[in-house]
Amino acid sequence: MKIGIDSIAFSTSRYFFKLETLAAHRDVEFEKYSNGIGQIMMSVFPPNEDIVTIAIDAAQKAISRIADVGTIDLLIFATESSFDLSKAAGIYVHHFLKLKEECRVIEVKQACYSATAALQLAKSFVRENRDSKVLVIGSDIVKYSSGSSGEPTQGGAAVAFVVSADPHILIIEDGSGVHTNDIMDFWRPISENEALFDGKLSAYNYLKSLDISFNRYLTKTQRNISDIDCVCFHAPFGKMAKKGAQQIKWRESIDNTLLYNSVIGNSCSASLYICLMSLLDQSKTPLEGKRVGLYSYGSGSVAEYFSGIISEKYRSYITPEENQRTLESRKEISFEEYELFCKNLPDSPHKNYENTGTVRLKSIENKRRIYGEIKN
């Protein structure tokens, strides 16, 4: 049975901030960001947007492209930005999507790897339930303190994809290389509002885990690197993905996979799949029937290298024009506005900010998050 991604969409904030502006105010050369980490912009989120509101927008677009929403029997929400240790963020999404009640909803976590874990769970579910579909959502917003080393790698986005039999976009192949290693390269204790990290250790382990998982993939599948036509990497920032390509001695440029990421910033669980969308949208050569290698890495750490075959019909099911409009319709904010956004706390949403999609965070009352539809 062929199982994979049948529909895919992403969402991000209505606002962006240029790293050129950040560089000027941090008294560093812009090339430190554009060349050093491979980023030129970051998505910045007002306090009435969160991982749920952008997830709803991405999911609404993804499910609008399938014939029967009633066949969605499982929703998996992947995130490392969760705000509740009990209730899955996907429950809110399920409500606003008006999915049937007879639908399982769970949340999964393992740093930036979690959406790939969800994809593999979805694949197994569909194999056992051929007529079912699974909605997978990866949604994260990355924030660091002003002036910190992580500041230029901020960003965020949600990606939503429907996993089904006989998919129209990408068939996920059997056989992958997995590597798990207990290290402290990136973590966020419950008491902390932002992650703690060891940047050098994280970069080292990203590449070490890639080398191990990639070679395990080749061994399990009995393939060679020449059997892979194109590649996508998890991209906490663009330069890290390029180092990954060098690590496995990839022979071609991966720039077309990083175009969206370079203006969105780090989106953690969504990152790899936004790179996949960038590849599908931006490739100058036909990709029908091509094998794409995918590397997923989540600090802490779990890594997986797997592959998929791009559908012969994929061009009719991707939305490059819509994706371009999503990015081009964003509004640039000034440095002063950026600092204001950074200071605004999520428990005091400002109703005048523009939002992505149809739902916003209205308020937090007695520690309960209240969402509502935006009225035009």
Structure tokens at 17: 């901030």
* pLDDT one-digit tens code per residue, 53-67: 999 999 999 999 999
| CB-based contact 271:241 (threshold 8 Å) | no
List strand residue ranges (DSSP E) for the chain, in order: 3-11, 15-18, 41-44, 72-78, 104-108, 133-142, 155-165, 170-172, 177-180, 186-187, 196-197, 230-233, 291-298, 302-310, 331-332, 359-365, 368-373
Which residues fall within 8 angstroms of residue 29, CB to CB, at 6 or more apart? 23
Which residues fall within 8 angstroms of residue 124, CB to CB, at 6 or more apart? none
* pLDDT one-digit tens code per residue, 113-137: 999 999 999 999 999 999 999 999 9
Q: What is the mean pLDDT of the chain?
A: 95
**Could you say which of 80, 107, 173, 304 is catalytic?**
80
What confidence tier does 304 reach under pLDDT thresholds 50, 70, 90?
very high
d(CA 140, CA 45) in angstroms, rounded, equals: 11
What confidence tier does 346 reach under pLDDT thresholds 50, 70, 90?
low
**Least confident piece of the model among 15-29, 180-194, 253-267, 341-355:** 341-355
Mean pLDDT confidence for 145-174:
96
DSSP letter at 299? T
| CB-based contact 40:33 (threshold 8 Å) | yes
CA–CA–CA angle 73, 75, 78 (5° rounding): 160
80 is an active site residue: yes
Q: Which pLDDT value is given to residue 26? A: 96
Rg of the chain, C-alpha, whole Å: 19
Q: Which pLDDT value is given to residue 47? A: 87
Whether the pLDDT of residue 349 is over 70: the answer is no
d(CA 120, CA 125) in angstroms, rounded, equals: 9
Beta bridge partners of 364: 369
d(CA 212, CA 203) in angstroms, rounded, equals: 15
Structure tokens at 77: 């929400």
Domain ranges within the chain, ordered by starting residue: 3-373
234 is an active site residue: yes
Whether the pLDDT of residue 280 is over 70: the answer is yes
232 is an active site residue: no
Whether the pLDDT of residue 345 is over 90: the answer is no
Q: What percent of the chain has pLDDT over 70?
A: 98
**Could you say which of 173, 232, 234, 268 is catalytic?**
234
The pairing of beta strand 302-310 with beta strand 170-172: antiparallel
**Could you say which of 49, 94, 112, 275 is catalytic?**
112
Mean pLDDT confidence for 219-233:
98
What confidence tier does 8 reach under pLDDT thresholds 50, 70, 90?
very high
Amino acid at 21: T
Structure tokens at 26: 């941090």
d(CA 324, CA 321) in angstroms, rounded, equals: 5
Which residues fall within 8 angstroms of residue 278, CB to CB, at 6 or more apart? 256, 257, 258, 259, 260, 261
Whether the pLDDT of residue 248 is over 70: the answer is yes
The fourth-level CATH superfamily of domain 3-373 is: Thiolase/Chalcone synthase (3.40.47.10)
Closest alpha carbon to 324 in 96, 30, 12: 12
> What is the phi/psi pair of residue 241, to 5°?
-65, -40
Mean pLDDT confidence for 17-41:
97
